Amino acid sequence: MKARVLSGVQPSGQLHLGNYLGALKNWAEIQSDYESIFCIVDLHAITVYQDPQELTSKIRETAALFIAAGIDPKESSIVVQSSVSGHAELAWMLTCVTPLGWLNRMTQFKAKAEKQATVGAGLLQYPVLMAADILVYQAKIVPVGEDQSQHLELARDIAQRFNSMYGATFIMPETRLPAVGARIMGLDDPTTKMSKSATGANHAIALLDEPGVIRKKIARATTDSEPAVDPENMGPGVANLLTIAHACDPSVTKSVVAGMRYGDFKKLVAEAVISRLKPIQQKYREITADAGYIDSVLVEGQQRVLPIAEDTIKKVKTAMGLYVARR
Ligand code: AQP
Query: 3-state secondary structure string, 95-120?
Result: HCCCCHHHHHCCHHHHHHHHCCCCCC
| Dihedral sign, Cα of residue 221, residue 48, residue 122, residue 52 | negative
Neighbours of 22 (CB within 10 A): 27
Supply the pLDDT for residue 68.
Answer: 98
Counting from 1 in the atom list of ligand 1, the atom nearest the Cα of 197 is: 26
Counting from 1 in the atom list of ligand 1, the atom nearest the Cα of 145 is: 35
pLDDT of 182 above 90: yes
pLDDT range class, residue 199, cuts 50, 70, 90: confident
Average pLDDT over residues 192-196: 95
pLDDT of 131 above 90: yes
CATH of range 211-286; options 1.10.240.10, 3.40.50.150, 3.40.50.720, 3.40.50.300: 1.10.240.10
> What angle is formed at CA 141 by the lines to CA 206 and CA 72, rounded to 5 degrees?
55
- Ligand 1: centre distance to CA 193 (Å): 8
25 is catalytic: no
The answer to whether 215 touches 196, Cβ cutoff 8 Å, is: no
Rounded Cα distance, 294 and 304, in Å: 15
Average pLDDT over residues 228-233: 95
Strand 141-143 to 174-176 pairing: parallel
Percent of the residues in the chain that have a pLDDT greater than 70, as a whole number: 100
**Residue of 25, 193, 217, 266 with catalytic role:** 193
Supply the pLDDT for residue 10.
Answer: 98
pLDDT of 115 above 90: no
Supply the pLDDT for residue 197.
Answer: 87
- Angstrom CA distances, 65 to 25, 36, 48, 102, 303, stand at 11, 16, 22, 34, 21
Supply the pLDDT for residue 51.
Answer: 97
Closest C-alpha residue for ligand 1 atom 12: 19
266 is catalytic: no
pLDDT of 327 above 90: no
Encode pLDDT of 18-37 as tens digits.
999 999 999 999 999 999 99
CATH of range 4-181+291-320; options 3.40.50.300, 3.30.420.40, 3.40.50.620, 3.90.870.30: 3.40.50.620
Encode pLDDT of 63-111 as tens digits.
999 999 999 999 999 999 999 999 999 999 999 999 999 999 999 999 9
Supply the pLDDT for residue 132.
Answer: 98
* Beta bridge mates, 206: 16
The answer to whether 73 touches 301, Cβ cutoff 8 Å, is: yes
| Average pLDDT score over the chain | 96
Q: Which ranges in the chain are annotated with CATH 3.40.50.620? A: 4-181+291-320
pLDDT of 172 above 90: yes
**Residue of 25, 58, 140, 196 with catalytic role:** 196
Average pLDDT over residues 297-322: 98
Q: What phi and psi, each to the nearest 5 degrees, are found at residue 80?
A: -85, 125
Supply the pLDDT for residue 37.
Answer: 98
196 is catalytic: yes
Beta strands in the chain (DSSP E): 4-9, 35-40, 77-80, 141-143, 174-176
The answer to whether 219 touches 268, Cβ cutoff 8 Å, is: no
Q: Which ranges in the chain are annotated with CATH 1.10.240.10? A: 211-286
Supply the pLDDT for residue 143.
Answer: 96
Average pLDDT over residues 176-197: 95
Counting from 1 in the atom list of ligand 1, the atom nearest the Cα of 181 is: 4
Average pLDDT over residues 112-136: 94
